[in-house]
Chain A
Amino acid sequence: MTDSTTDTVRLTIDGIPITVPKGTLVIEAARRVGVMIPHFCYHPKLKPDANCRMCLVEVEKMPKLQTSCSTVATEGMAVRTATTVVNDAHKSVLEFILANHPLDCPVCDQGGRCDLQDFSHQYTATASRFIETKRIFQKEYFSPLIETQMNRCVQCLRCVRYCDEVMDVKALAPAGRGTMTEIKSFGTHQLNCEFCGGCVQICPVGAITSRLSMYEYRPWMLKRADTICQYCGDGCQITVQTKDNELIEVMSAQGAGRNNGDLCARGFFGYHAAAHPDRLTKPLMRRNGALVETTWEDALEYTAEQISRLKTSHGAQAFGGLISSRCTNEELYLFQKVMRTAIGTNNLDSSARYGQLNAVQAMRRIQGTHRWTVTFEDIIQADVLLLVGTNITEANPIAGLKVKEAVKKHQARLFTIESIQPAVDTISNITNLAELHICVPPAQYDRAILGLLKAAVEGQQVDQTVHNPSSEFVTAVSQALARLSWPDIEAGTGTTRETFVQLAAGIAKGRRVVVLAGQDLLRSAGGYGICLNLLDLLLLTGKLTESGCGFAPLAEENNDQGAVEMGAIAELLPGVLDVANQEARAQMGRAWKTDLPLAAGATLVEMIDRAHSGLLKGMLVVGENPVGSLPPHLEVGEALRKLEFLVCQELFLTETASLAHVVLPASSSLEKAGTFTNEEGHVQAVRPTIEPVGESRPDWEILSAISMLLGAPRDYGDAKELLTEIRSVVPGYGLLGPGPIPPKVDRAAIERYVTGGYRQDLAGRYTLATHAMPLEGTMELRLVQSLFHSGKFSTRSKGLLQIEARASLRMNPVDAARLTLGDGDRVRLSNQRGDLKATVKLLERVPQGALWFPDHFAQEAANLFECAIDPHTKVPSIRTAAVSIVKIT
């Protein structure tokens, strides 16, 4: 802290002295001493607009009353918030606001949690003096998910300002003038936006409400539970509100969680899937070829019998397991423990294998941590941000808000290397905010990063402190980069050398540089190598060891990070220790009082191969659906059919579960306790909000029961016992504080890397890969994340299905015009592997030459894709395919 007299000011609020940082608004200073000044338009997230005039206060030496929401506290200021003059002013503003209000509180969903009601109560408004005719707006249909009742609106414009300032979507605007001002969406069509629900949450009255729960409750009837969203890796805190064990609505309080109360469409409108009629409610067993309902006892006993039988007859290596990274840490931990101890194999994997592992392994190798060394706060405070392959506003919308905040509020410089292009659209687009944007297909991310590295090294941007101890490494990198030719880089990326030079200079100049890498990069072929190169960039420019700087890979699934940290990965033990490391194995063996299997485990695709060849005889699949997720040419279905025993723990009867011998109904994350670890490495509590649906049980309970039947020594009574055990093997795991405490880079690891660790693959990484030229007339089909969906849960969510019910093929209008295609036209995509019929949707953000198909409906498109496996991390990449396109009628 520097000299306090220059950074803070002292003032009094109603005589109470307080010292606040310079720039604090009077309304915030008052809040700190417990004085709540009534307001409608003020919101801490928004720039003061001072339009409602409710927060007027007296300030000594100022002749007029001042709006406390727009008045900055100054030294010696004396503020009075409750004098007769101030009270009369508040009453008069309330009288004005109530003049045209319909007073329809009995049928208003906001009733009971409405600022207007509360202030009316506070100022004991009596009979209104307003005897004129009330203004009435024509009722208009707004959207399937969001309802407006403009007669209740107080015109505070919080919704409009939120949509612009925070979301950068600008879907709402005030139309009309004076008392006829109403909030509308642009154009004559119904609202078409990100459906983040922000306007619903930020409306102080009942003017904007959710249609999903309209008229179903009174707020005081609702039971609330704070838990963590189960969609992406951002790890937002949500408050699930239920009535009689029924899901009513989701909200997130201002300031809550890592999301600060902001949500996206999936978080806000995506929760009714838990109550979907497709949910499995009873255990199923295959009898005479068909799955029929059975009892838990029969199903579990049969499962244990079959596992024991396979183990006896074929050995533990004949068994394998897969788990979804959407499970809790406790479940992921218990799963790998059951696989490794009760069964005795390392043949286990989780969906973190699809991409997250690339990032974690790269971080471990260069900076010696398996987590971010930064937090969301560091993103907000960054002065330079580089985004690579994130599509952040769709894939990780809340991390995207942190980037938007950094750029819009704090003027951070934003550089993006993405396979999207800037365009004004109904949803936000991070490249619109970029100072420099390089638009390349995912296959060229490596080339763009190499261009950036080359520009940094040639531009003498290598930090001198790095140069000294690691000059051998710097020389090797410089020599490798010198071999690359600028024309090759420019041609492949469509970007000039000058742009790379500018970008490199920008990064070198930054004081707080955060590099975000998204799933579009992590799931691409070569994702691991590109992560290493990005870390090299931070290392070379001297940023890697600086505080406030770091590498931040974004997770697709809510607990991708937890899955890796819990050791639900063939080659990793809990605490991210290598199975191959004898000491680690011994340490874990002591904790578990058993010897750990020695044989290297098979990873996801390897297990499928082994099932094919008959080496693998049985599998335990928890919440994963490899039949739907992996491309058909891997013949996952055929492989699983060959198994002698397949048991699935599932919410729904997926393609995989329908092949199983036993299907055990699992509870969703809304029905159980546990913890999730978000992409920042923050461990957060998951709490049950409703009773388990039907006879479903949490996955940890099922796993515990199976392990007991297999003779494991320990039964777990609740998820807490598991967390305690996790903490005993991974010390300090999940301290559950308000925010993550990121690890520091391990300088010893960096030392190891720069003094030889880089050698094994540097030459390969610093080579321009040759990509097969696409055949004449073909376009590149890419799987992309959609804002509104992320898999089997979202596609059973009634709210999200109302926004986007079917997959459509997105393409650039220029390409469409060339092919004489328009919105809604049907096309057939084909290549030598298969074909797909789809409906066209024009979207300017799609670069020319590319076709986008949403990831979560990918089962339909899977047969067009090839699968590339990373040689180091065994990550399968199923992202792009060359296809030809024809219009069909």
Chain B
Amino acid sequence: MPKHEPVLLKNMLQPGYTGSLVDYEKAGGYQALRKVLGKIAPGDVTQLVIKSGLRGRGGAGFPTGVKWGFLPKDYQGPRYLCCNADESEPGTFKDRQLIERDPHQMLEGIVLACYAIGAESAYIYIRGEFVLGAQILERALGEARATGYIGKNILGTGVSVDVWVHRGAGAYICGEETALLESLEGKRGLPRVKPPFPATHGLYNKPTVVNNVETLANLPHIISRGPEWFAAIGSPPKSTGTRIFCVSGHVKRPGNYEVPMGIPFRELIYEHAGGMRGEKPLKAFIPGGASAPFLTPDHLDVKLDFESVAAAGSMLGSGGVTVMEEGTSMVWAALRLMEFFYHESCGKCSPCREGSSWLVQTMRRIMAKRGQAQDLETLTDLCKNIAGRTVCAFGDAEVAPIMSTMKHWRHEYIALIHEAEAANLLRPEPALKRH
């Protein structure tokens, strides 16, 4: 069925592949490491990655090699690599599969990245709920250390990289890179004010790179098969390579699909994921995780690359595609996501902290048919006053569902408020309470 050759999921799609070191080596694993360490200068590895056009797979899509290049060249002290495995975006579950099914692929990527940026220590910050993933990583690390792929003097090349797994404690915000660093340092996971950026003042105030699991997992393939090969996949020049999209919702075959960037949503949803689960047609979809604004059937031919989705008014984000069929209440869908953001707002910035509780309460009221005519204006104002006014991108994320559903399905909000007003007419005026 897949028209394209999978890259990241290739190994695990082989029958009987267990993700063990033996299996990974059999499939050609750790060859990139042998090819690079001590043979290609670290700066040249960075150049290879820049040439490949690889962009961050965590959500923001920043060019990976360029990010590495921001580290100060002449800094004498330690540098760090952090692997962001705190995959918590609703509708996103690709990293989990990469961790659980092929851990050595990302570990090889981590060592390659460390080599390129000159880090001797890497931390995998893994979501607390990924208990199995953490166990698998620990086991894989044990294998890699015992074989000499990780640790002191790797493969006798004099390069040393050690890797530690650190489990999160259940906060969504710790997926934000600076909150992740705070949490890793043992502090409360709150985003830091930028600048300074982690590239200069990261973990323990040292130069640090934070990369997503999928980003790092791509590295062995880029090294082994060359940046030109990678850059030719997808929709060059800006969105190269494949991407794992996590399709969920009202489709026949929810799951992870690795496809070249740039195929249209229609192909992903109707061919890969098997189309809608029943008779009802598609009503809405979220293209890139809960933080991405909703799109409509009119957007089905938008290409799955960073620029096209942005042009359509949303973002490719974390690659979580959630599909909703006709009949789904968009107010309910927005409320459901708002409940999540309310629960996860870290509380650092006033607009997000107070706004999330205000928004969720207003949305609950509208959904419960106790809305008022002025609520829509209030919601719009609140969303505008949160977006762009917070330390991290959470503020923009939390208003996306409400703003986009109000844009495309405003009538559903109005209908609920009308219902409330009609019911109010029947209700007796409440007696004035004495204070």
Chain A: residues with CB nearer than 8 A to chain B?
Answer: 48-54, 56, 64-65, 67, 70, 89, 92-93, 95-97, 99-100, 129-133, 135, 154-155, 173-174, 176-181
B-side contacts of A131, CB under 8 Å: 372
- Decide if A177 touches B361 in the complex (CB within 8 Å): no
- Decide if B389 touches A154 in the complex (CB within 8 Å): no
On whether A52 and B350 interact (CB within 8 A), knowing A96-B358, A132-B361, A179-B357, the answer reads: yes
B304-320 to A contact mask, C-beta < 8 Å, 1/0: 00000000000000000
A-side contacts of B351, CB under 8 Å: 53, 92-93, 96
B-side contacts of A177, CB under 8 Å: 171, 343-347
- Decide if A178 touches B193 in the complex (CB within 8 Å): no
- Decide if A100 touches B354 in the complex (CB within 8 Å): yes
A-B contact pairs, 8 of them (CB 8 A): A53-B389, A92-B389, A95-B385, A96-B355, A97-B350, A129-B381, A132-B358, A155-B347
Tell whether B299 is near chain A: CB-to-CB under 8 Å: no
- Decide if A180 touches B193 in the complex (CB within 8 Å): no
- Decide if A97 touches B349 in the complex (CB within 8 Å): no
Complex Cα spacing A465 to B273, Å: 83
Q: Which of B188, B353, B356 contacts A173 (CB 8 A)?
A: B188
Nearest-neighbour CB distance to chain B for A525, whole angstroms, equals: 44
B144-182 to A contact mask, C-beta < 8 Å, 1/0: 000000000000000000000000000100000000000
- Decide if A179 touches B381 in the complex (CB within 8 Å): no
Q: A53-B390, A65-B388, A133-B361 are in contact. List 6 more A-B contacts (CB 8 A).
A: A50-B193, A95-B385, A96-B385, A177-B343, A178-B343, A179-B353
Nearest-neighbour CB distance to chain B for A172, whole angstroms, equals: 12
B-side contacts of A92, CB under 8 Å: 351, 381, 385, 389
Residue of B nearest to A96 (CB): B354
Complex Cα spacing A67 to B388, Å: 11
Residue of A nearest to B194 (CB): A70
Nearest-neighbour CB distance to chain A for B161, whole angstroms, equals: 29
B-side contacts of A50, CB under 8 Å: 193, 349, 391
Nearest-neighbour CB distance to chain A for B228, whole angstroms, equals: 36
* Segment 345-375 of B: residues with Cβ below 8 Å from A: 345-351, 353-358, 361-362, 365, 372, 374
Complex Cα spacing A70 to B372, Å: 39
- Decide if B389 touches A178 in the complex (CB within 8 Å): no
Tell whether B342 is near chain A: CB-to-CB under 8 Å: yes
Q: Which of B342, B348, B389 contacts A56 (CB 8 A)?
A: B389
Q: Which of B350, B361, B388 contacts A64 (CB 8 A)?
A: B388
Nearest-neighbour CB distance to chain B for A103, whole angstroms, equals: 13
B328-353 to A contact mask, C-beta < 8 Å, 1/0: 00000000000000111111111101
- Decide if A180 touches B355 in the complex (CB within 8 Å): no
- Decide if B365 touches A155 in the complex (CB within 8 Å): no
Tell whether B97 is near chain A: CB-to-CB under 8 Å: no
Q: Is the interface of A mostly helix, strand, loop or mixed?
A: loop
- Decide if B348 touches A51 in the complex (CB within 8 Å): yes
B-side contacts of A180, CB under 8 Å: 347
Residue of B nearest to A93 (CB): B350
Residue of B nearest to A181 (CB): B347
Q: Which of A95, A99, A178 contacts B346 (CB 8 A)?
A: A178
On whether A181 and B353 interact (CB within 8 A), knowing A53-B390, A92-B381, A129-B378, the answer reads: yes
A-side contacts of B389, CB under 8 Å: 53, 56, 65, 89, 92-93
Point out which of A93, A129, A177 has the most chain B C-beta atoms below 10 A from its C-beta: A177
Q: Which of A56, A89, A95, A178 contacts B347 (CB 8 A)?
A: A178
Point out which of B343, B345, B389, B391 has the most chain A C-beta atoms below 10 A from its C-beta: B389
Complex Cα spacing A703 to B77, Å: 65
B-side contacts of A93, CB under 8 Å: 350-351, 385, 389
CB-based A-B contact count at 8 angstroms = 94
A-side contacts of B362, CB under 8 Å: 132
Residue of A nearest to B356 (CB): A178
B-side contacts of A173, CB under 8 Å: 188
Complex Cα spacing A528 to B315, Å: 73
On whether A48 and B193 interact (CB within 8 A), knowing A64-B388, A178-B353, the answer reads: yes
B-side contacts of A64, CB under 8 Å: 388
Complex Cα spacing A301 to B290, Å: 90
Q: Which of B345, B348, B354, B388 contacts A97 (CB 8 A)?
A: B354
- Decide if B350 touches A96 in the complex (CB within 8 Å): yes
- Decide if B388 touches A51 in the complex (CB within 8 Å): no
A-side contacts of B342, CB under 8 Å: 178
Point out which of B374, B378, B385 has the most chain A C-beta atoms below 10 A from its C-beta: B385
B42-55 to A contact mask, C-beta < 8 Å, 1/0: 00000000000000
A-side contacts of B356, CB under 8 Å: 178-179
A-side contacts of B347, CB under 8 Å: 155, 174, 176-181
B-side contacts of A48, CB under 8 Å: 193
A-side contacts of B390, CB under 8 Å: 53
Complex Cα spacing A65 to B351, Å: 14
Point out which of B358, B362, B365 has the most chain A C-beta atoms below 10 A from its C-beta: B358
Complex Cα spacing A92 to B381, Å: 9
B-side contacts of A49, CB under 8 Å: 193, 348
Complex Cα spacing A155 to B353, Å: 9
B-side contacts of A178, CB under 8 Å: 342-347, 353, 356-357
On whether A70 and B354 interact (CB within 8 A), knowing A51-B349, A92-B385, A132-B365, the answer reads: no
B-side contacts of A179, CB under 8 Å: 345, 347, 353-354, 356-357
A-side contacts of B361, CB under 8 Å: 132-133
Nearest-neighbour CB distance to chain A for B337, whole angstroms, equals: 15
Which 10 residue pairs across A and B have the least CB separation, nearest first?
A132-B361, A181-B347, A92-B385, A96-B354, A178-B345, A179-B357, A178-B347, A50-B193, A51-B348, A70-B193
Complex Cα spacing A67 to B348, Å: 14
Residue of B nearest to A132 (CB): B361
Point out which of A100, A129, A135 has the most chain B C-beta atoms below 10 A from its C-beta: A129
B-side contacts of A65, CB under 8 Å: 388-389
A-side contacts of B349, CB under 8 Å: 50-53
Nearest-neighbour CB distance to chain B for A72, whole angstroms, equals: 9
B-side contacts of A130, CB under 8 Å: 358
B-side contacts of A56, CB under 8 Å: 389
Nearest-neighbour CB distance to chain A for B210, whole angstroms, equals: 20
Complex Cα spacing A67 to B355, Å: 18
Complex Cα spacing A127 to B374, Å: 14
B-side contacts of A99, CB under 8 Å: 354, 357-358
A-side contacts of B345, CB under 8 Å: 177-179
On whether A174 and B357 interact (CB within 8 A), knowing A96-B350, A96-B385, the answer reads: no
Complex Cα spacing A179 to B381, Å: 19
A-side contacts of B348, CB under 8 Å: 49, 51, 155
Point out which of B171, B357, B362, B391 has the most chain A C-beta atoms below 10 A from its C-beta: B357
Point out which of A53, A93, A181 has the most chain B C-beta atoms below 10 A from its C-beta: A53
B-side contacts of A51, CB under 8 Å: 348-350, 391
Nearest-neighbour CB distance to chain B for A301, whole angstroms, equals: 67
Nearest-neighbour CB distance to chain B for A169, whole angstroms, equals: 16
Nearest-neighbour CB distance to chain B for A411, whole angstroms, equals: 11
Nearest-neighbour CB distance to chain A for B363, whole angstroms, equals: 10
Nearest-neighbour CB distance to chain B for A539, whole angstroms, equals: 35
Nearest-neighbour CB distance to chain A for B396, whole angstroms, equals: 10
Complex Cα spacing A92 to B356, Å: 14
Complex Cα spacing A792 to B346, Å: 48
A-side contacts of B381, CB under 8 Å: 92, 129
Complex Cα spacing A56 to B348, Å: 16
Complex Cα spacing A56 to B388, Å: 11
- Decide if B350 touches A54 in the complex (CB within 8 Å): yes
Nearest-neighbour CB distance to chain B for A63, whole angstroms, equals: 9
Complex Cα spacing A176 to B378, Å: 27
Complex Cα spacing A41 to B68, Å: 33
Complex Cα spacing A64 to B194, Å: 14
Complex Cα spacing A133 to B361, Å: 8
Residue of A nearest to B375 (CB): A131
B-side contacts of A133, CB under 8 Å: 361
Residue of A nearest to B346 (CB): A177
Complex Cα spacing A135 to B349, Å: 17
Complex Cα spacing A414 to B362, Å: 55
